[in-house]
Amino acid sequence: MLGIETSCDECAAAVVEDGEKILSNVVASQIPFHAAYSGVVPEIASRKHTEWVYAVVQEALEKACLSACDIDAVAATNRPGLVGSLIVGLSFAKAFAWARRLPFIAVDHMLAHLYAPRLAATGGGGLPCEYPFLGLLVSGGHTIILRADGFDDVTVLGTTIDDAAGEAFDKVAKHYGFGYPGGKVIDELSRAGDSGAFNFPMPRLHKGGGRGAADVHRYDVSYSGLKTAVINQLESFRVKKGEILPEDIAASFQKTAVDILLRALFNAADDTGLKTVAAGGGVAANSYLRAALAQREGLLAVFPPFDLCTDNGAMVAGIAYHYLARGDRSPAAATASSRVDGFKKKPLPRRV
């Protein structure tokens, strides 16, 4: 299976055998082109994908020691993401499949992230992850806590009510000039910082406890309050140069940002009784998140290797194998979409 991923700023292609064995995984990052803007510029992203996608696919085939005629099926991400970027990989995959008369599978990016722990570093098999389990999907655009009963059978338990987790890292890093993308630099800075130096606030989303209206946000997260509190330190940070260390700001922010996630996740684990958590998305690379989850007694945390946390084609090819095996095919008319309805939390029934 050839998998193509162009939903944001990574131009990626991979070849995966039987949904597990990675034969090649090529990721061409556009970070240097967006760094000057401290964020992804959609127009630049789609242009770079157009320039690069052919060579990236070519390299994925070469690294797998295969040619186009050895590929059995083609998959591409078609939702959610930047539409102009998605269209590039999607159209390329459809054209490849059409030219070689191969089955084509359009894949949801978030379900692909959820699948990533089942893959392992090039050449290996994935970690065991029996359904049902809890999913923690944390990327630049999404924060989702869900119950997974199958590779495409998920129930969303909680989401963010404002910013995504990765977005909070990126915005804080942008304001402080720490670098881009923010998650990785904050993670690295934090290693030399004191996470207790600042007491940033946890959002109060479920005051009162008990069942009913006050519990509506039990599995949800919010980042706007934390983001504002951290940015409010910026003036003192500038004035008291040398006294307030960037490492301490980074570590204190990171701890609170991850603790917000963990609070909602542990609520979900307690209430559902599920004992395994599979994490995916760029923020799943975070070292404090990985360490804190590993320490939680009674919960098995399954993380993808670092290179499979962020966007890649292997997770796309991996999940697509299961659609193919089930007999699913996507129509040639499959379109790109910025959103995906299936990941909206269903409103709780009104209590009377």
Residues 270 and 258: their CA atoms lie apart, in Å, by: 18
Rounded to a whole number of angstroms, the minimum distance from the CB of residue 198 to ligand KG4 is: 18
Q: Of 203 and 282, which has the nearer Cβ to Zn ion?
A: 282
Rounded to a whole number of angstroms, the minimum distance from the CB of residue 94 to ligand KG4 is: 22
* CB within 8 Å of 83: residues ≥ 6 apart: 336, 337, 338
18 phi and psi angles, rounded to 5 deg: 50, 35
Residues numbered 290-319 forming contacts with ligand KG4, rule: CB under 6 A: 310-311
Q: Please return the burial class of 153, using the count of CB atoms within 10 Å of its CB with bins 0-12, 13-18 and 19+.
A: exposed
Strand order in the sheet with 21-29: 21-29, 10-17, 2-5, 74-79, 104-108
Q: Assign 276 to helix, strand or coil.
A: strand
Neighbour tally for 131: CB within 10 Å: 13
Binding string to Zn ion for residues 282 to 321, with x set by CB under 5 A, is what?
Answer: -----------------------------x----------
Q: Which stretch binds ligand KG4 (CB under 6 A): 126-134, 153-161, 175-183, 206-214?
A: 175-183
Q: Of 15 and 112, which has the nearer Cβ to ligand KG4?
A: 112
The CA radius of gyration of the chain, in Å to the nearest whole number, is: 20
Could you tell me which residues are beta bridge partners of residue 147?
134, 155
User: CA 320, 323, 325, 327 torsion: positive or negative?
Assistant: negative
Tokens of 263: 């609070």
Rounded to a whole number of angstroms, the minimum distance from the CB of residue 214 to ligand KG4 is: 30
Which of 92, 115, 133, 169 contacts ligand KG4 by CB under 6 A?
169
Does 166 contact ligand KG4 by CB under 6 A?
A: yes
Does 167 contact Zn ion by CB under 5 A?
A: no
The CA dihedral of 319, 320, 323, 329, to the nearest 10 degrees, is 160
Does 282 contact ligand KG4 by CB under 6 A?
A: yes
Q: Which of 264, 230, 268, 262 is nearest to 249 (CA)?
A: 230
- Is residue 62 within 8 A of residue 19, CB to CB? The reply is no
Q: Of 247 and 311, which has the nearer Cβ to Zn ion?
A: 311
Rounded to a whole number of angstroms, the minimum distance from the CB of residue 283 to ligand KG4 is: 4
Which of 71, 283, 308, 315 contacts ligand KG4 by CB under 6 A?
283
Residues 84 and 277: their CA atoms lie apart, in Å, by: 33
- Is residue 134 within 8 A of residue 265, CB to CB? The reply is yes
Residues numbered 91-150 forming contacts with ligand KG4, rule: CB under 6 A: 139-141
Which of 24, 78, 85, 139 contacts Zn ion by CB under 5 A?
139
Q: Of 160 and 310, which has the nearer Cβ to ligand KG4?
A: 310
Q: Of 139 and 286, which has the nearer Cβ to Zn ion?
A: 139
278 binds, among Zn ion, ligand KG4, none (CB under 5 to 8 A by kind): none
285 binds, among Zn ion, ligand KG4, none (CB under 5 to 8 A by kind): ligand KG4
Residues numbered 179-218 forming contacts with ligand KG4, rule: CB under 6 A: 181-184, 187
Q: Of 97 and 249, which has the nearer Cβ to ligand KG4?
A: 249
Is-cis flag, bond preceding 132, omega within 30? yes
* CB within 8 Å of 209: residues ≥ 6 apart: 215
Binding string to Zn ion for residues 211 to 230, with x set by CB under 5 A, is what?
Answer: --------------------
Please report how many Cα atoms fall inside a 13 Å half-sphere around the Cα of residue 14, on the Cβ side: 34
Counting residues that bind ligand KG4 (by CB under 6 A) gives 19
Q: Please report where in the chains the tokens 């070849």 appear, as a residue.
A: 15
Interface ranges with Zn ion (CB under 5 A)? 139, 311
Q: Which residues bind ligand KG4 (CB under 6 A)?
A: 8, 139-141, 166, 169-170, 181-184, 187, 281-283, 285-286, 310-311
